[in-house]
Structure 1
């Protein structure tokens, strides 16, 4: 449900927010509350994650005071609070490889369902509009399937790395996810999947390497990142053309230019949490008029966040995401090994995804949910190693005990 799969495309093909879709979330909310109560002693240990979620909820709820659609903002704050709580439950309850394995199995099931829908009901599984012929499976759009499959492929690679041996299920998951990403023709999703798998493989190789190789690898990594940043800063247009992409990022730059003009009108407050792109939104209507097409979102998580909550919201979310990444890196030698380096691989992919998709502080979204779950895993206290009980020493033959009487 957090990926937006199946239920929405079947019950609301036009992507409208209908009352029946809200009813489907009520059992999920009740189940979340039950799980939190059942595992209260476990989830409360991730208290820094609860503080982070609480600060986000307070800011988002405060935005109802200036929101251009206060009713929508209030409703989405409730959804964000409950789904954020579920994310912390996931991170607190499923440690080590258990969460990546769960995610990989879910991706495998959704991938098989997508293949079935594509051939059984192509009107749902295949785009027939401007993206005609591109697969979208059990989702509304091809990008949604691409994001879900990229996350599934990364999780399956971590599953293999943690077990340190090849297994049929994670290998099948990786192959299916990559095939479906290719069927979407989403270059961003393909890049995310390849980067996620590459990070897991690279760290697994370094795990077996000596200190000298690790130092050389880090040095080469820094050099490559610096060179890549310089190349992108100077030749971004030519790189995009070589990749078959429009230098304007399929009209995204025009959207961003228009959005920044609206953001400048409310730089410190924004237009309210999840209120900017509503049907009756005048700022959104102005954006669509300026760009000449029905823009659904900013196609950039950070710009979208500025439009919703202004600079305070962007700084707060940026601090939380950066803290998650830093803490995950610190725990890499211990927890990272046990989870197959999934946390750092996913967060890297997630940060890349925020530059082209609106996946930050979402009310109901798998990418943001997993980001909060990783934060909960990062702040959750490590279990103390249990010391083995030493067997009592035996006396040698004819050895007597102490002759000194005790008090």
Structure 2
């Protein structure tokens, strides 16, 4: 399938629009000028792609997508009991508009979108390195140790994008429909760019999760001999790491986080769970975590989120919202597993869903506000489920005609 110039430009523009949600921008008079621009652009994309949106609405019949849609509806309903109702309305509206934009591009083949996502993320990495040259005090955090955040609001958000780029690049290389690239140097440069950016963020947990997902992609597509070699190599690597554990800790550690609280995460988890017990079913309302409710967690700043997907969503939307989000993640993995088993090739959304779940142990991808990693992962999930649904429908139609 070849996209028209208009659809190709619209898809690229949408991806950059998602990136803008977490680009470091000045707050003018207490207001965020990007949000009105984001809403306006989303409405324009929805209107110009309204025919595709209506044709792709059938993807909501898939159980994972239906669960996520219910989660978003619950998110919007939480304004009724939210501690910060205005912020709940603003952010839930942005999330719903993002979802509708994603649905309007659900008919585009995932392999095309994965390639565009990698190119956009490489663009983010290049801009981050350029900003490092122009304004190093803005592009890097150096309070205790040096960490690259580039154009993004935080180094961890940049590391998530770089990790997604590496996982998708690995899946593209192993995908059956992708031919060997005509520009091997350019492809190798993109991998080095993504890997170098990820290392520069010094996000230990994200680096670990990216390694697991990339190895998983290659293990899934490899033959029996290749899998045996990977298992043997992994065992030897584990033995070396255990033998050199002291050296590994020195290289892997960061001075400001060598404590028992995991840079304050344990403190946030304990205090958040205490507050969840006060409103276990409904929560305190969407986007209510980063408010005066959690101001006493620390003396110097207010935590932006709970650094755990399920604690964060339980705090804001209660156990009901957490159950809906968990249903989306689990049913999404189950459906994609069936698709991959039937198609016999590596997909793209499965690796990103696993990556999102792993990152959710110490951070937030799903379960918070609309963000580039959330929207990009959701886009690929909807595309692969929509593609499988259309193939199943065509096969059923063909069988019916043969029998008739």
Q: TM-score range with shorter-chain normalisation?
A: 0.7 to 0.9
- Match among 283, 288, 293 for residue 298 of structure 2: 288
Gaps of 5+ in 2: 1-15, 243-247, 399-404
2:190 matches 1:182: no
- Aligned CA distance change for structure 1 residues 288 and 36 (closer, same or farther; 3 Å): farther
| Residue number in structure 1 paired with 2:13 | none
Give yes or no for contact 1:259–1:307 (8 Å, CA) kept in 2.
yes
Does 2:306 align with 1:298? Answer: yes
Write out per-residue CA displacement over residues 249-295 of structure 1, whole angstroms, 9 at most, x where no aligned residue: 112111111111111111111100112213xx2x2123235xx6532
1:268 pairs, out of 281, 290, 296, with: 281
TM-score (norm 2): 0.78
Q: Check if 1:81 corresponds to 2:103.
A: no
Q: Distance in 2 between matches of 1:336 and 1:295?
A: 43
CA distance in 2, matches of 1:358, 1:59: 19
Is 1:332 aligned to residue 345 of structure 2? no
Larger radius of gyration: 1
Q: Distance in 2 between the 1:259 and 1:275 partners?
A: 12
Moved more, 78-87 or 266-275: 78-87
Shift of the alpha carbon at 1:192?
2.5
Structure-1-length-normalised TM-score: 0.78
Q: In the alignment, what sits opposite 2:134? A: 120
Q: Deviations over 1:29-58 (max 9, x none)?
A: 123312540313531231225633431232
Equivalent residue runs for 1:192-207 within 5 Å: 192-206=209-223
Structure 2 CA distance for aligned equivalents of residues 326 and 182 of structure 1 = 32
Moved over 6 A (4+): 239-242
The equivalent of 2:72 in structure 1 is 57
CA deviation map 1:69-110 (0-9, x unaligned): 1111112111111112223334x1322411211111111111
Match runs of 1:377-396 below 5 Å: 377-380=383-386, 381-383=389-391, 384=394
Which runs of structure 2 are paired with 1:150-161 in the superposition (5 Å)?
Answer: 150-161=163-174
Q: Does the CA contact (< 8 Å) of 2:209 and 2:358 recur in 1? A: yes
Alignment of 1:5-404 (within 5 A): 5=20, 8-12=23-27, 18-48=31-61, 51-90=66-105, 92-128=106-142, 130-162=143-175, 163=178, 165=180, 167-206=184-223, 209=224, 243-244=252-253, 246-278=259-291, 281=292, 283-289=293-299, 293-335=301-343, 337=345, 340-380=346-386, 381-383=389-391, 384=394
Closer/same/farther in 2, CA of residues 379 and 341 from structure 1, 3 Å limit: closer
Distance 1:311-1:242 versus aligned 2 partners, 3 A rule:
farther
> CA 1:7–1:312 in structure 2 vs 1: closer, same or farther (change >3 Å)?
closer
Cα distance between partner residues in 2 of 1:150 and 1:17: 32
